[in-house]
Amino acid sequence: MHPENPQQRSIAQIADAVRSGALIAYPTDSCYALGCRLGSRDGIDRIRSIRRLDDRHHFTLMCRDFAQLGQFVRVDNDVFRAVKASTPGSYTFILPATREVPRKLLHPKKKTVGVRIPAHVVTQALLRELGEPLLSSTLLMPDEEEPMTQGWEIKDRLDHAVDAVIDSGDCGTEPTTVVDFSSGEAEIVRRGAGDTSRFE
């Protein structure tokens, strides 16, 4: 799929598949990710199985824009300004979740969830067509230090485990910068593709 000019018909087909419960591998502005519908228990279990994740793993809600993000997390004024200034972009923010987020996705103690707004044309087109966030996790395989960068490579290795792969060429290997705002103060959990200077 063209990274700057994705075909709308293809985007619509993928969105329909996600609504029907499909698990997809798709490109983002940091690296490839696994995604499924927000309420898909099967999708969550499949992501956990592929990546061998435990219950403490923070899933990310991939949101189209700030209005959508605000439906799923609570953001006070100071945090709002910091997050707004960094989106869309290669950042994941950990924030207190609203009741819109299924309990299974929450951090068991903190009741938080990761959210982000990607700066990738294909991902934005898919989120716009879908009309809801995509439940997402970086496509990093167990015991590997870097994510796969090419759609064809993902298809070769995971064709049996996912329902569709959106191949938009090389995505890079650097994951998002993760900033935890659950206490009201910025705590950098992971340094990645996003500049951390404004949070230090």
* Average pLDDT, rounded, for the chain: 91
State the pLDDT at residue 146.
Answer: 84
What does the pLDDT look like over 33-54, one tens digit per residue?
Answer: 999 999 899 999 999 999 999 8
Residue 149 — very low, low, confident or very high, per pLDDT cuts 50/70/90? confident
Of 68, 49, 180, 50, which is closest to residue 113 (Cα–Cα)?
180
Residue 10 — very low, low, confident or very high, per pLDDT cuts 50/70/90? very high
What does the pLDDT look like over 174-195, one tens digit per residue?
Answer: 889 999 999 989 999 999 988 9
Ordered domains of the chain (ranges, CATH): 8-199 (3.90.870.10)
What does the pLDDT look like over 122-140, one tens digit per residue?
Answer: 999 999 999 999 999 989 8
Has residue 1 got a pLDDT over 80? no
State the pLDDT at residue 54.
Answer: 81
Contact, 169 vs 3, CB < 8 A?
yes
Residues belonging to the chain: 200
State the pLDDT at residue 110.
Answer: 84
Contact residues for 77 (Cβ-Cβ < 8 A; gap 6+): none
Alpha-carbon distances of 108 from 42, 114, 152, rounded to whole Å: 19, 13, 36
What does the pLDDT look like over 55-102, one tens digit per residue?
Answer: 777 789 999 999 999 999 999 988 988 899 999 999 999 999 999 998
Has residue 109 got a pLDDT over 90? no
Task: Summarize the confidence of residues 158-167 as an average pLDDT.
Answer: 94
Residue 4 — very low, low, confident or very high, per pLDDT cuts 50/70/90? low
Residue 2 — very low, low, confident or very high, per pLDDT cuts 50/70/90? low
What does the radius of gyration of the chain's CA atoms come to, in whole angstroms? 16
* Torsion over CA: 34, 87, 195, 184 (sign): negative
